[in-house]
Chains A and B, each alone.
Chain A
Amino acid sequence: MTATAEEIDDSIRGRSLWQDAWARLRRNRLAVLCMVLLTGIIFTCFIGPWFCPWNPEIQNLKLRATPPGTMETLTEASWVNHGGTAEEWRELTNGGANPQKRRHWFGTDTLGRDLLARTLRGGQVSLMVGLVATLVALIIGVAYGAAAGYAGGRTDDIMMRAVDTLRALPFMIFVILLTTMFEKNLLLIFLAIGAVEWLTMARIVRAQVLGLARQEFVDAARSLGLQPGRIIFRHIVPNVLGPVIVYATLTVPAVMLLEAGLSFLGLGVQAPDSSWGTLIDDGATNMESFWWLLVFPSAFFSLTLFCLNFAGDGLRDALDVKSAKD
């Protein structure tokens, strides 16, 4: 009988939903590859500049629009100009004996700035925009959606009608107006985009909560005399987390696309700052003569979007979220 008891036990021992999701996610090789690549891109953008000798904003008018791999001979003045110290310079050159040459791996732009350094800096800006705006959208959307879904009835009706009305507004236009309002303030651009993107999140969370709030385990919690706040955070939020994570992952690339579009129009990030959008704009203008100006930033940008979308899809399958739409 011992063997049979074990068999029963084995069939009953459950795995948590998260463990299950993790196992499914690991089997999706493409999603895992995308997550690894994404981590790589993030690290490159934020840590790479430490290993790059060029400052993204320093121009060298003698080396305008040089192709990838061009060498530049450095003087002490230009070294310091690019952010090095005089001490480092002495160390490198053994007291001025060795002339120093460094390569522009991605070439230089039309003002002689190093494209690699600019691409990395642009990546920082684009990724930050994506993350911060998504975070803003997440906070507003979850709070609003959860409140509406939990309240139910008339309150829910009015709150959702408001969301519907807002969704019908031509938002790109308002984003453009907002960004001109807060000219040259990057943080406010993030906030403006985030304030626009929360609507879908609110709808998703509200639908989930509405479904859950009517389920037995919430009634059970209520009948035990738990506070509404505690019920929301202990019983409902964990169940809503799946769709929220999935949708947030898919919002990041959408926001990045929006930012890049604005920057492309000259309405987003302002010079001398750069984002992938402004770099691509620059590259598109010059692509007939200087292809590298378009290719490198576009490649980074598209690869990042690709990875984010695939990772989001993988998460959706793994967490078994039905559809991020309604």
Chain B
Amino acid sequence: MVKLVIDNLPIEVEAGTTVLEAAQELGIDIPTLCYLKEVNVIASCRICLVELEGHRNLVAACALPAAEGMVIRTHTPHVLYERKKVLELLLSDHPFDCLTCFRNLNCELQTLAQEFNIHGLQWEGERNVFAVDDLSPSLVREPSKCIRCRRCITVCRDVLTVSIYDMQGRGFDSVQGPAFNDSIQDTPCTTCGQCILVCPTAALHEKDDTDKVWTALQNPDMHVVIQTAPSIRVSLGEEFGMPQGELVEGKMITALNRMGFDKVFDDCFGADVCIMEESTELLTRLQGNGGPLPQFTSCCPGWVKFCENFYPEFMPHLSSTKSPQQIFGSLVKTYYAQIAGISPDKIFSVSVMPCIAKKFEAAREEHQDSGHRDVDAVLTTRELARMIRMSGINFADLPDGKFDSPMGYASGAGVIFGASGGVMEAALRTLYDKLVGGEIPEEDLEKVRSFNELREAEIHMGERTVRVAVARNLGEARKLCDRVRNKEAEYDFIEIMACPGACTGGGGQPIYSNLDKWSLQIDLRKSRARGLFEADSQKKHRKSHENPYVHKLYEDFLGEPSSARAHQLLHTEHKARPLYTNRGDYAGDKVEHRHYREEHNLLH
């Protein structure tokens, strides 16, 4: 333990604690910008500067280990002046297009500028102007808005182990970006979108598809249906100031109805169908009649791309079942079109997802099994919230609505798809019922439910022991895959989700520009997952195969799981991909220096 004094308050902390953490313990709020707890501690932005007695210059609190006898002052006029001036310097290399910016009113830089009472810059000059990279179907990179905090770099490299970003160039011209400043679409980017969640500005943001949806809603000839992913119902409320993880399913449905969607369906129905197919596939593999073991889940498009890029040898292990979104998409334009008597080319199929990789997935060429693009537009939680706001809907006061039939009812198993370990649990519930009969013991489920990064369990199903593992971010997935590849561990079934905390922590979820965002996100993921399990417990049917609408689907349309028609519509193939391609025509290496006033014709 070490004793130190911060702002005249004595405190004792464990050795290794930083001054920033110690100050937080005292309730002293030191502003940060590049800092991400335990992920990015590089002291580069120089916003968290504090006075350290006996030290000539100011010191960055985020990277300063507390030491015995230290005397720290965090908010002297001198410190505030220096912070403000550093912030002004940052702003002098930043475009002033806040009004039209994606992160307007939800930007860490903007928040700080306001907090520091900045109303003009002492030093103006040239700023970097980079081309925008919007070639990826999922995310857009606007390097001109980058403040070089490097959070995206460290998250991508250290948490997800994909590492598509690094610093390019040197000094004033330096900027984060993919190798050779290529377009993101030419890299092994899994489009998980964690970089967007950690970006303090709008240098990285999702590709906005709201206009596509508005256009469809405007078209009287179009029948617009929407499927909502499980985790949206526990995160959408946050966009409207409601408590974290609050279940807002009913309000969401009402909002969508009022906005003019013809049918509001539940993507969890697709998840139930997914379990039907995937558990049948697993059963076949376990019986030795299918592909090799372990079987990997394939419902996360970020993980699928990761696997195609980094572990092509696992292609036969990936479940051939499509993700719930794509299952739903192909069923909407076949099964639903048939029942409703609408020509599939008059149906516009929208999904709302916690995820930007889903945009990439929906755009994959192979997903046109219905004869059309299975899903026409993918919205994220954030985009949907924007549309609701535009519609002038007072979300918090909405009455509860109900999903439409026949694709609006899901079992509890379908709902928990959004939580880490949820797919595994849903599959196990069905598998257990098929192999043993009845409910799987609660203690077995607890093993896959915890919030550990990596979970393993052995579940006895009659004579058979099923060995399962769950990895909840790509970094953990890589470790797991390496162990499987090196035959250090053997499993039958593995669930992998790209994002930390799975879909509840997805790259399309609400962004908070508060302090210490990273740990906040972890709490969010927990409260959102709790919300999902709560929804599950309220359901009459807890297992996918008990869903009466799923029964009806198979009876009327598909036959039985893994039938020829099911295979045609609900399964897909995966292919190995090269890590780097050269398709894009992004002019990333072009850097211009322009004077802000010159650009706006303010220079005399």
Q: Do A and B bind each other?
A: no
Chain A residues packing against B (C-beta within 8 Å): none
Chain B residues packing against A (C-beta within 8 Å): none
